[in-house]
Structure 1
Amino acid sequence: MRELRNKSSISRSKLAQRADMDVRHLARIEAGDGKPTLFVLIQLATALDVKPDTFVKGLTSADLPENLKPYSEADFRRELRRRGGS
């Protein structure tokens, strides 16, 4: 995110304004501490004039932080059974 912003010569506050978001949220996203929703990624992509897939292209579950794990279909079914669902 920061790289794209710098490449476009846009300040953090200007990008936040264009994306209609709080500059502190953008700072957290750029630092890798924020967890942007798909909606936020689309807002940022639009503000930077890039396609939204720019942010996720080529990523896999291996790119998730260590404290997160992919939630598979098997995980979902196991949790459903644990809760007494079908």
Structure 2
Amino acid sequence: MQVDTLGVPVEDPLLALIREVAAEVVRYHITRSAPGYPLASSWWRGEAAARARFAALVTEIGSLPGARITLADEETGETLDEWPGDR
């Protein structure tokens, strides 16, 4: 980390921008798994896009025995949707 003339740590402006963009990009997180298939994750900037991908995944792998799909808001820690739903 860089320091200013007084020796106070100063974050590189480019690194600060990268951290800000990365935080925005990873807000909506989808995890999916099914027995015999690897666990996979994806991250989405917007909630609408994440919900659309969640719905597509339910169609694609929701019928596999033991399939689990979760959509979470990483900023709030809230689970927004799950497949299967209430068990």
TM-score (norm 1): 0.26
Which is richer in strand? Answer: 2
TM-score by length of 2: 0.26
Give the number of the structure whose residues are more often helix, by fraction.
Answer: 1
More RCO (CA 8 Å, sep 6+): 2
